Amino acid sequence: MKIIKTKFKGLLIVKQKNNKDARGNLREVYNKKIIKHDHFPFEYCTTSKKNSLRGFHFQLGKSQQAKYVSVFKGKILDCVIDLRRGSKTYEKIYKVVLSEDNCLSLYIPKGFGHAYYSYEKINIVYYKNSNYYDPKLESGVNVLDKDLKINWPSKNLLISKKDKKLMSLREFKK
């Protein structure tokens, strides 16, 4: 495993080794000695169809989460927004393609909103989280907010009703 730092404090790309042979592959996804995060008590896995767009999701207050995101099948455009007031990269967007082929994962520190777009017919995305999900403290910023100026790879997006109702970045800042 190899750590690649980004210009965003604490936001890391993790390049994993994929050992392939005639039977399939073996990929080391997480190693506490390399990621140096002691506590991921909550894990989950999502499946998303092609052109699905999820996010920008985050937890508020005591339920804020650091996330470690990996793709086991398919390919996604992973996108985060820095919502840490006082950060040099506050309100800035970072995007990276994660896929089963490139074996990249993304470590996202607390204070970021997280979204992703699904390129493939089936995409399986695995999360490790530093805190439990609390629906009362769930929040987000609308991925289609024009102020974010994000050009998503498709105009034919599958977005949940819940995500369409998320607040704008301006509303979040208030």
The residue length of the chain stands at: 174
Task: Report the DSSP beta bridge partners of residue 126.
Answer: 45, 70
pLDDT of residue 135: 93
Q: Which residues of 121-143 are buried (b: 16+ CB within 10 A; e: fewer)?
A: eebbbbbbbbbeeeeeeebbbbb
pLDDT of residue 140: 97
Please choose, from the candidates 80, 74, 81, the residue with its C-alpha nearest in 3D space to the C-alpha of residue 101: 74
Place of tokens 């207050």: 61
Give the pLDDT confidence of 37-94 residue by residue, as tens digits. 778 889 899 999 999 999 999 999 999 999 999 999 999 999 999 999 999 999 999 9
Give the pLDDT confidence of 99-158 residue by residue, as tens digits. 999 999 999 999 999 999 999 999 999 999 999 999 999 999 999 999 999 999 999 999
Please choose, from the candidates 126, 108, 106, 80, the residue with its C-alpha nearest in 3D space to the C-alpha of residue 14: 106
Distance of CA 63 to the CA centre of its chain: 17
pLDDT band at 20 (very low <50, low <70, confident <90, very high): confident
Q: Which two tokens stand for residue 102?
A: 């490139």
Q: Which residues are catalytic?
A: 57, 127
pLDDT of residue 62: 92
**Reported pTM:** 0.92
26, pLDDT greater than 90: no
